[in-house]
Amino acid sequence: MRLENGEGSILGAPLIRDWTTVREGRQIPVETRTEMGLEVRLGHESSYTIVEESTIPTGWREASQVIQQSPGSVVILGDVDSGKSSLCTLLANECVDHGLRVAVIDGDVGQADIGPPTTISASKLDGYIFSLQDLTPYTSLFMGDTSPSSVSDKLLRGLARLKRDVIHRSDVLLVNTDGWVQGDEALRYKAKLLDELQPDLVLGISSDGELDSLLELQRSASLKLARSSRARTRSREERKKAREYGYRRFLRNATRVRVRLGDARLRRFNSQQRQLRLNHDEDLRGVLAGLLDEKERLISIGRVERIANGLLSLTTALGERPAIVELGAVVLSPSFEEIGLEA
């Protein structure tokens, strides 16, 4: 779609006359208070709906005003597909509109927007965005799995590190979290996360009271927000397709690269070993790997093709030699489709 005449906005960002694409499985609200001409081209099974009222809950805008008046660090909590990324985008744009320096941490390893799936990332806004995917990673860390429950301790350490990296470079820090909130284990993890990050404000998008006990126990200020009436829960297959899009986005123009194992440390994502010892019959073909620098920051992801004769062969968009190669849990096909998990 693109603007032909009049004025409109997407989550607080002014519409422009260039084409904006909404990819499969996503939806975005386009708003106008006046007459607006919009050219729309629909892809396969795509659609649009015209509604008279705003689809952005009033509480979201009220939370934005609170943040503008008292800038600081904000953690956003909510169930799967509850609208966390949309809320984060709206808050970021409205804070930028008021002249605040904004940074975003994407802590959702399964449905990562800023970096590839299996990673967490921090970024800084240079202007308005229509989606968190418009942001370029400032720092990314490889977690190795798409399930937060499998890497919860590593996630806590990583998110704390990202906060230290960007907190002094921003007036407002927005931390977008994963959708793991159902069950006691999930709530214990989120409580640890809030204790680790010590935010100035916690925003919880809740529809069935699943976050009530967590928000009530917080020492930080907190606000309970409603889901958008237009929020749509995606199927497991749609979420898988979204992750595969994420792998391809960061493996675009990838080539075959060889890394000499004597020049880089090899380890598993869930192990503290400095150097992995491989079994001779171990087949690692297709395993997603994180290629890290000396400070354990992500340089690129890659798909393992072969390990033999002291050489690791990968398909990657790597621009520099890694100091560390970390093997993840996800197994990808040559076309970067998820086909399994490493035990």
Helix H or strand E segment including 304? strand 298-308
DSSP bridge partners of 298: 292
> Could you tell me the domains of the chain?
2-39 (no CATH), 58-225 (3.40.50.300), 251-341 (2.40.30)
**pLDDT tens by residue, 139-189:** 999 999 999 999 999 999 999 999 999 999 999 999 999 999 999 999 999
pLDDT of residue 143: 98
Residue 181 corresponds to which tokens in the numbers above?
């909130």
Q: b/e string for 68-87 if b means 16 or more Cβ within 10 A?
A: beebebbbbbbbbbbbbbbb
Mean pLDDT throughout 21-49? 90
Alpha carbons 99 and 271: distance in angstroms, whole number: 43
3-state secondary structure of 210: coil
CA–CA separation, 64 vs 82, rounded Å?
A: 18
Mean pLDDT of 198-206: 96
Check: CB of residue 170 under 8 Å from CB of residue 103. Answer: yes
pLDDT tens, residue by residue, 88-141: 999 999 999 999 999 999 999 999 999 999 999 999 999 999 999 999 999 999
Confidence (pLDDT) at 218: 84
pLDDT score, position 306: 92
Which of 185, 157, 183, 160 has its CA nearest to residue 173?
160
Strands 36-39 and 2-6: antiparallel
- pLDDT top residue among 71 and 45: 71
* Average pLDDT, rounded, for the chain: 93
- Look at residue 225 in the predicted model and tell me its pLDDT: 97
Q: Which amino acid is at 22?
A: V
Residue 343 pLDDT more than 80?
no
The C-alpha atoms of residue 152 and residue 126 are separated, in whole angstroms, by: 31
Q: Note the pLDDT of residue 273.
A: 62
Q: How high is the pLDDT of residue 136?
A: 96
pLDDT of residue 279: 57
Asked if the model's pLDDT at residue 280 lies above 70, the reply is: no
pLDDT at 310: 87
pLDDT in tens, 216-251: 988 889 999 999 988 888 999 999 999 999 999 999
Instruction: Label residue 272 by pLDDT band (50, 70, 90).
Output: low
Tell me the DSSP string of 26-65: ----EE-SS-EEEE----TT------SS-SS-HHHHHHHH
pLDDT tens sequence across 25-36:
888 999 998 899
151 burial type by CB count under 10 A (0-12 exposed, 13-18 middle, 19+ buried): buried
Is the pLDDT at 298 greater than 80, yes or no?
A: yes
Q: What is the residue whose two structure tokens read 């927007």?
A: 113
pLDDT category of residue 274 using cuts at 50, 70 and 90? low
